[in-house]
Structure formats: structure tokens, C-alpha cells
Amino acid sequence: MSEPISAEYARRIEELYGPLTQSLRKLIDVVIRSQAGDDDVTRAHGLIDQAAALLGSRLDDEPFGVRATTEGGILTWGNVAMGVRNAIAFPLQIEHDESGRASADLLLGAPYEGPPGHVHGGVCALILDHVLGATAHRPGRPAFTGTLNLRYMAPTRLGKLRAEAWIDSETESKTIAVGELWDADGVLTVHAEGVFIRPKAKT
Amino acid sequence: MSEPISAEYARRIEELYGPLTQSLRKLIDVVIRSQAGDDDVTRAHGLIDQAAALLGSRLDDEPFGVRATTEGGILTWGNVAMGVRNAIAFPLQIEHDESGRASADLLLGAPYEGPPGHVHGGVCALILDHVLGATAHRPGRPAFTGTLNLRYMAPTRLGKLRAEAWIDSETESKTIAVGELWDADGVLTVHAEGVFIRPKAKT
């Protein structure tokens, strides 16, 4: 992990990039659903290239990774599921309760489509991998997926979703987690079980 | 499925939106890695909003779904894994060989990150779900994931990847497929097995 980032600087960057990334999520969506005239599409393409040139004038060579703040916080700005600077991210905001249960509420639109009107099965897998994994992380000891078994019970309609996961059993190095995904009508659509491995903390 | 789209119109739209979506993929990446000054970030945000306003001036209410062309082709422009108008899509370009084997070569950068420098386990699941599923589709009879079991053998480094899948066994309504994901060094990183269901064709 690189040098800690000042917590104040991190807050400023999040205030700058958070709303920009939210705008970019909207742009991803309208690119799919647009029925604009050709001239407007061509102009929009030019604006996208201009924005990329401005932001790309100074670039970090590396992906963002995981970085620490001076206040002991962890920044995962680039994470594909939860990154505040990653427009692919839903973003997933995980809530933890006292029992170790992890949950997340999501709203998925056109960009996450697989079968018509429904969430891609692989996106359901991404959500559940992340929420199950969240039960297994410990401070300074992130957990990695060992196995993940998914059972698709019903198609998952685009719209509001809820994911929950809990610990089935665990040892010092391993958590077995179980979780479920529900659609807006409260239908259980995907069931998941996974083994998550915690490498030993560096001493 | 809605009315077939003229094949000529579809080609024109793909020529217009394909390169725009490619530019948007680049923009997603630089938003994560940018070290531009605050003024440039603010200007880029304005350009993104302008592009979204132009494209959003006329919008389809629905996600794109799957549409047919007058030449009998299938358009999946909005698909999160392979859509030419979906900037989240890698995009996955599946090759089929005569034996029914499906494969795809990919190049994944910063936007698909989970653990530092590595592909998110859920993104590996998305790739494998799609490539395994591709062995099970039949003309007019798309297949849906029933179960998907993933075994993570090694961390998947960001960069070039290759996914392959083949049919283990099948019946009229069901395909059992197996597949693997390899990194740029030829290391097998994820193994997958899944059951894919083909609903009866509509008559």
C-alpha cells in the first residue's frame, strides 16, 4: 500500500469526483437509451473526448488499488462494485449490523441488463460476491473469494434490489458465508454460498 | 420482442455509437486514474453533463433488451457484458468453434479492479457466467443460468485474460457447461461449472 493520503485531501477529492462520477453513470445510461439525432450524438461524442483529454492530461499509471488515509480510513475509489470514482460501480453501500450481517440496497437500471428487462446473472454474482465477502473482512485483513456457489431461483427484474449476507461458520483464516438477493416485490431471486479466505496479517 | 429493426439502420447506429461508447470506456478509466487540477475536473464534469443532456433529449423509456433485425440478426446493444452501446461492457466478443466451445479474449484495466491490481472476483464471475452461457444458447432459445459454481484458484491480475467454456453434458432443456479463466501468464485463475436452462421455444 502506498503512503497514507491526508484525510482532508481525500474528502475534497471525494466531493469533486463523487458528483462527476454520478453524472458519468447517468451518461452511461443515456448512451444506451438515447434516440437523439445523429448531429447531437456526434456532438456528444466530441464532448466525451474533450472530458477524457482534460482528465487524462495527468494520469496515475496504476489502477487505484486500496489506499489508507492519515485517519486510518481505507479508500477504495476505483473498486468496480463500490468505488466513488468508478462509474461502473452501482455503487454498493454495505451496511453492517452487530451480528456481522452485511446488507445493501441497490437501484439497477438499463446498464446492468442481461435478459430483456432483467439483471444479468453475472451482475447478480458480482453483487453477492461482494456482499458475502463483506462478512469476512477484518481490519487490515481483507478476505478473498475461495469458492462461490450461486443458485438462480427466479429472474431478477431491473429496479430496486436488496442483498443480504451472513456468516454460516468461520475459523481464524476462513469464513463460510450465505446470502440472498431479492427484487422490488420481495421475491428471492438468487441464493449464494461462498468460502472466503483471510491471508495472515503482515507482521 | 419489439418490431424488427432494419439491418441497414442498425449498422448505421452501430457505426455512430460504437466509437462513442469506446470513448466513454476510456473516460470511465481516466476518471479513476486522473490527477488533473481541480479546474480541469470541474470543466470535465460540465462536459459530461452537456453530453448527457444532448443524448437524453430523446430517450427510450425501456432498457434496450434484445431486438431482431430484418435480416434475422439479434441486437444486444445494452447488454452489460457485450453491448456495443454499453460502456460497462468489456465488451465480451465470443468466438464459437465447431465443437460448441465458446471463448473470449479480454483486456481489463483499472475500472474492473477489486483487490489492488487484480480483477474483482465478481467480474470474473460475470465473464464466466456469460461465456459458459454462450455454449447453451440455441437460435431463438436463449439459455438462463440455473446454477453457477466458481472456484478461485489464484488472484486474476488486471491485463489480458482468456475465458473458455465447453459443454459437459446436455438434454433438450438443459446444458451443463464447464469453463476456465486464465491470466496473461497462462495461469488458470478461476474454474466454473454451471447449469443453463433453455425454456421451450414459443410456438
Q: In chain A, what's the furthest Cα-to-Cα distance?
A: 60
pLDDT at A139: 81
pLDDT, tens only, A52-91: 999 999 999 999 999 999 998 899 999 999 999 999 999 9
pLDDT, tens only, A28-56: 999 999 999 999 999 999 999 999 999 99
pLDDT at A105: 98
Give the start-to-end residue ranges of the domains of chain A.
Answer: 1-89, 92-197
Q: Mean pLDDT for each 10-residue chunk of chain B (203 residues)? A: 86 96 98 97 98 97 93 93 98 94 98 97 98 91 94 97 97 96 97 94 61
Angstroms from A99 CA to nearest CA on chain B? 25
pLDDT, tens only, A88-106: 999 999 999 998 899 999 9
Chain B residues in contact with A126 by the CB 8 A cut-off are 120, 122-123, 125-126
**Which of B16, B112, B120 is the best residue to mutate to test the A interface, defined by the most A CB atoms within 10 Å of its own CB?**
B120
- Answer yes or no: are the C-beta atoms of A157 and A117 closer than 8 Å: yes
pLDDT at A2: 72
Give the confidence band of A153 by pLDDT, cuts at 50, 70, 90.
very high
pLDDT at A61: 93
Nearest-by-Cβ selection for B21 from A31, A112, A155: A31
**Which of B48, B60, B84, B128 is the best residue to mutate to test the A interface, defined by the most A CB atoms within 10 Å of its own CB?**
B48
pLDDT at B100: 87
Please report, for residues A96, B101, B107, the alpha-carbon distance to residue B97 in angstroms, rounded to integers and kept in the order given: 46, 5, 21
Give the confidence band of A127 by pLDDT, cuts at 50, 70, 90.
very high
> In angstroms, rounded to a whole number, what is the distance separating the alpha carbons of residues B187 and A84?
31
> In angstroms, rounded to a whole number, what is the distance separating the alpha carbons of residues A87 and A109?
13
What would the 3-class secondary structure string for A139-202 be? CCECCEEEEEEEEECCCCECEEEEEEEEEEEECCCEEEEEEEEECCCCCEEEEEEEEEECCCCC
Percent of chain A's residues with pLDDT above 70? 98
Closest of A103, A106, A107, A97 to residue A164, by C-alpha = A103
Give the confidence band of A203 by pLDDT, cuts at 50, 70, 90.
low
Q: Look at residue A15 and tell me whether its pLDDT is greater than 90.
A: yes
pLDDT at B1: 54
CATH fold of B92-197 reads Thiol Ester Dehydrase; Chain A (3.10.129)
Residue of A nearest to B2 (CA): A116
Please report, for residues A5, A27, B31, the alpha-carbon distance to residue B49 in angstroms, rounded to integers and kept in the order given: 29, 8, 14
